[in-house]
Amino acid sequence: MSRAESHSIHTGLSGRMLLENPLLNKGTAFTLEERSELDLHGLLPPRVETLEEQCRRAYKSFSIKPTPILKHIYLRSLQDTNETLFFALVQRHLEEMLPIIYTPVVGQACQRFSDLYRRPRGLYISYPERARMDAMLANFKRNIEVIVVTDGERILGLGDQGVGGMGICIGKLSLYSAVGGITPNQTLPIMLDCGTSNQKLLDDPNYLGWRHGRIDDEQYYEFVDSFIKALKRRWPNALLQFEDFAINHATPLLETYRDELCTFNDDIQGTAGVTAATLLAAAKTAGKSIEDMSVAFLGAGSAGCGIAEQIVRLMMAKGLSEEEARKRIYMVDRFGLIHDEMSDLRAFQQKLAQKHDAIQPWMMDGSVSLADVVKHAKPDAIIGVSGQPGLFTQEIIEQMSRNHEQPIVFPLSNPISQIEAVPEDIIKWSRGKALVATGSPFEPVSFEGRSYPVAQCNNIYIFPGLGLGALANGARRISDGMLDVAVQTLALSSPAVINRESPLLPTLDSIQRVTDDIALAVALQAQKEELAPETERTEIEQRIREKRWSPEYRRIRMSYC
């Protein structure tokens, strides 16, 4: 019996209903036997194609679409028609298609969600319908393993997109399947529609969300809480990824729920994880060790502070005391370097404030700028999460290059219009010395006859592996320890460590392998922390392999029961 035979799927659907189901539909690849058994004759053109032939035809259609958003629309509609073909195509052209189904083009799809809307996908829970929550979840009869939820309030760098936030949940889950190998029918995107503060959307006659100002405070937290409770009743073991919540909600929600279910926040923990891993890789490339380094941040919001906390943990794992580690972190925001005599510091900033007395000699007009920090503290790395373009100036980069043989410079702000400095300038000003990673994708930079690759420091390197690892051994929680091992594993897979001309992060053609390595490390760590049942390493490896779904057609059979 062939593999397709032994893995056949039985369904009660036939004829047009079957073709309408994207999880089962094979389109022109239904064989003649299947067409007879499932009443499909005449509903499809006569030629029977292989998956490979379908991919070639679909790639041609994709390629002739003139703009990125039209390419996105094409791929999304393929996904809603035939998921196997969609994933087979994306996996064959990952590098080209990733920016189309994910950042940055998915941002436009969120902004234009109501105009582009065609078919249902995922679950919309709007505040006025909250009493029906259990019934809504019960619409999905299958076992759901991974959920990405948003309330649409802070979509990428694009602010409040209301119901359009659904686009980012769909995009992230596509990567869970394309990169993490999670079976698509076990994923579910969820939009918690809490209203919107985006006046443009409220005024748009086509807006498809709840046309109402955003709920907040008690009303908001009660709504989210009833969602979490309903979720725990329906799928108590599912992994829940919070995505693109506004940071004033994201932090308290993470603190409240991380000890209650298997959950993490991609924008806080995923971003911190991938940045810390890239920093570790850069350190290694420069022949340094993290505990000997100091790091300055431009931007002291919760994203910057989240990354800083992850770096503090890495330094402590290398033997520094907490106090010693914190001394090595400099957080600069628009009022200058954060110190303990500043009033109005947020709780997460206080822990990262420098001692006023230590930095007082650097002060000019009552504050310390990033340029002052670079001059006096000589940080090994500067990380930009300011959302403000141009703040990594030529003067700062030149000073960094005088201080260090290989200065580390990560302008992470997205989209490209907001970047602190473009890689081309950083390479030029540092005369090819800087190790660069960015938030947005960039082509390699040529400088004096050499090519300098630019790593894209994106959460995609972390979240699919974290999720796959947690699911592979049934972890109940996502702990800091599990994140730490994900970071270490990703850093170890950096090609730059072996060859300076390679990028700091693995290329996309090896991302599935790296994701499996991260998953294994995460699963083992969960077990070590008693967050998952005791299982042999080989058994976990096997489960990761078995969990990895791949887009291949299976024989579809009529179920007569």
Residues that bind ligand OAA (CB under 6 A): 103, 156, 244, 266-267, 414, 458-459
Question: Alpha-carbon distance 274 to 306, whole Å?
Answer: 12
Based on the shown chain and the rule CB under 5 A, indicate whether residue 380 belongs to the binding site for Mg ion: no
Task: From the list ligand OAA, Mg ion, none, pick the one residue 103 interacts with, judged by a Cβ distance below 5 to 8 Å according to partner type.
Answer: ligand OAA
DSSP E strands, 175-268: 187-193, 239-242, 263-265
Q: Which among Mg ion, ligand OAA, none contacts residue 333 (Cβ within 5 to 8 A by kind)?
A: none
* Long-range Cβ contacts of 97-100 (<8 Å, 24+ apart): 97/62, 97/71, 98/175, 98/460, 98/508, 99/68, 99/441, 100/68, 100/71, 100/72, 100/75
Give the binding range for Mg ion (CB under 5 A) out of 239-247, 278-286, 410-418, 488-496.
Answer: 239-247
Token pair for residue 173? 């889950």
Give the active site residue among 26, 71, 124, 172.
172
Two tokens, residue 164: 């359009």
Contact segment (CB under 5 A) with Mg ion among 261-269, 414-422, 428-436, 492-500 equals: 261-269
Give the strand order in the sheet containing 295-298.
336-337, 329-333, 295-298, 381-384, 408-411, 435-438, 455-456
193 contacts which partner out of Mg ion, ligand OAA, none, CB within 5 to 8 A by kind? none
Nearer to ligand OAA, 263 or 414 (CB): 414
> For ligand OAA, which residue has the nearest CB?
103
Q: In angstroms, give the least distance from the CB of 412 to ligand OAA.
A: 10
Is residue 470 within 8 Å of residue 444, measured between CB atoms?
A: no
The one of Mg ion, ligand OAA, none whose footprint includes residue 458, by CB under 5 to 8 A per kind, is ligand OAA
Listed in sequence order, the residues at least 6 apart from 290 whose beta carbon sits closer than 8 Å to its beta carbon are 279, 280, 283, 311, 314, 315, 318
Strand arrangement of the beta sheet that strand 187-193 belongs to:
123-126, 187-193, 146-150, 239-242, 263-265
Euclidean distance between CA atoms 87 and 175, whole angstroms? 9
Cis amide leading into 22 (omega within 30): no
Decide which of ligand OAA, Mg ion, none touches 401; Cβ closer than 5 to 8 Å per partner kind. Answer: none
What CA–CA distances, in Å, run from 150 to 31, 174, 361?
40, 15, 45
**CB closer to Mg ion, 107 vs 384:** 107
Active site residue 102: yes
Site membership for Mg ion, residue 267 (CB under 5 A)? yes
Q: Choosing among Mg ion, ligand OAA, none, which partner's interface includes residue 186 (Cβ < 5 to 8 Å by kind)? A: none
Nearer residue to ligand OAA within complex by CB, 265 or 473:
265
Q: How far is the CB of 157 from ligand OAA (least distance, A)?
A: 7
Contact between 239 and 428 (Cβ < 8 Å): no
Closer Cβ to ligand OAA, 414 or 438, answer by number: 414
How far is residue 330's CA from residue 38's CA, in Å, rounded to a whole number? Answer: 65
Q: How far is the CB of 168 from ligand OAA (least distance, A)?
A: 6
Q: Identity (one letter) of the amino acid at 386?
A: S
Least separation in angstroms between CB 518 and Mg ion: 18
Annotated active-site residue 172? The verdict is yes
C-alpha distances out from residue 313 to 36, 253, 276, 316, Å = 61, 22, 10, 5
Q: Which helix (H) or strand (E) holds 330?
A: strand 329-333
C-beta of 169 vs 482, nearer to ligand OAA: 169
| Minimum distance of ligand OAA from residue 217's CB (angstroms) | 24
380 contact, one of ligand OAA, Mg ion, none, CB 5-8 Å limit per kind? none
Spot the catalytic one: 102, 257, 452, 553. 102
Identify the three-state secondary structure at position 154.
Answer: coil
The smaller minimum CB distance to ligand OAA, of residues 379 and 465, is found at 465
Q: Is there a contact between 102 and 75 (Cβ–Cβ < 8 Å)? A: no
Instruction: Give the angle 155-158-159 at the CA atoms, nearest 5°.
Output: 70
Q: Which stretch in 59-67, 201-209, 265-273, 298-306 sits in contact with Mg ion by CB under 5 A?
A: 265-273
Q: In terms of CB distance, is 302 or 458 closer to ligand OAA?
A: 458
* Residue from 244, 309, 372, 484 binding Mg ion (CB under 5 A): 244
Of 176-184, 266-274, 309-317, 548-556, the window that binds Mg ion (rule: CB under 5 A) is 266-274
Known catalytic residues are: 102, 172
Sites of contact with Mg ion (CB under 5 A): 244, 267
